[in-house]
Amino acid sequence: MATVTVSPKSQIVIPREVRDAAHIKPGAKMEVILYDGQIHLVPLTPLGSLYGSLKGINTSIERDEDRF
């Protein structure tokens, strides 16, 4: 388990092995969530990176008459 120290400016450095495992690059945006006394850092995924991720999905489903 990696540990970090909070600087006098309230900054932390994410250890390299954690950054590499989570594919975090310099300038990446993170969401900070406080949950049950714990701090969670969640990398935000740009919408453009999701382009093509649903390629081949079956969209031929039966729809109700009142739906488009």
Q: Please give the share of the chain, as a percent, with pLDDT higher than 70.
A: 99
Specify the pLDDT at position 47.
78
More confident residue, 49 or 38: 38
From CA 29, how far away is CA 43, in angstroms rounded? 6
More confident residue, 44 or 47: 44
- The single-letter code of the amino acid at 16 is R
From CA 3, how far away is CA 52, in angstroms rounded? 37
- For residue 14, pLDDT beyond 80: yes
Give pTM, 2 decimals: 0.60
Specify the pLDDT at position 62.
80
- Give one DSSP letter per residue of 41-63, joined into a string: EEEPPPGGGGTTTTTT-------
What does the pLDDT average to over 12-30? 92
